[in-house]
Amino acid sequence: MAQNADVVFAIVGFPKDVREVFLGPTGALAGSKAGTVLVDMTTSEPSLAKEIYDAAKAKGVHAVDAPVSGGDVGAKNAALSIMVGGDADMVEAVKPLLECMGKTIVHQGPAGAGQHTKMVNQILIATMMIGVCEALLYGWRAGLDLERVLQSVASGAAGSWSLSNYGPRIIAGNFEPGFFVEHFLKDMAIALAEARRMNLSLPGLALAEQLYASVKACGWGKKGTHSLQLALARLSNIDWQSR
């Protein structure tokens, strides 16, 4: 956790960590004076973001939820997309600091709205990654040069950030994390819980969650989300790394 004057930023792993860091007996809120702004950049539960906001407000403290997207590439280049929930004036107050980390900073609405937007982001990625991995698996089995395939499809209608950034890593067999599988599973669990609460059926997300559960079961929970390729290849009795 980094502190700059009266603004406190934190990004941790799981909702239980967020709760401890912000609401614990020795957490950020307990040590904050009136007027402090707490900014949680973890991908976490929208309901927890609202709980932090309400607890902070009762103490004269402000809270903003500001999860990010862009992976390790975006972080290294200070080009993250930051989805922000909270009071408009507080979002404006911390925006210059957020601009040190990201290129796209959008106020999505009240407390929790940033987290809901991040769930939209994760749902998009979850099913998109299945397509990326299955397409490359198909291309390899068909005997194509996968690097040439990317030259054709990455700039067309099928192009995506995931294909352009993770496709070359998959082809090279580099599954080191930009974002951990186990953290992605956490995000999908949050999105599925929220979907149930809103009486939504999201079968694509449910399928992705189960496929990623198999990735973790194979011992790849600390690998990058693109290691889904390894589990999907295994379903066809293919060892992707030794192909």
Catalytic residues: 118
d(Cα 47, Cα 216) in Å, to the nearest integer? 27
Query: How far is Cα 2 from Cα 177, in angstroms, rounded to an integer?
Result: 23
Residue with tokens 């956490």: 186
Q: Cβ distance 108 to 114 under 8 Å?
A: yes
| 15, 44 Cβ separation under 8 angstroms | yes
Q: How far apart are alpha carbons 27 and 32 in whole angstroms?
A: 9
Token pair 């999860």 is found at 67
Closest CA to 41 of 75, 84, 77: 84
* Of 175, 186, 190, 189, nearest in space to 222 by CA: 175
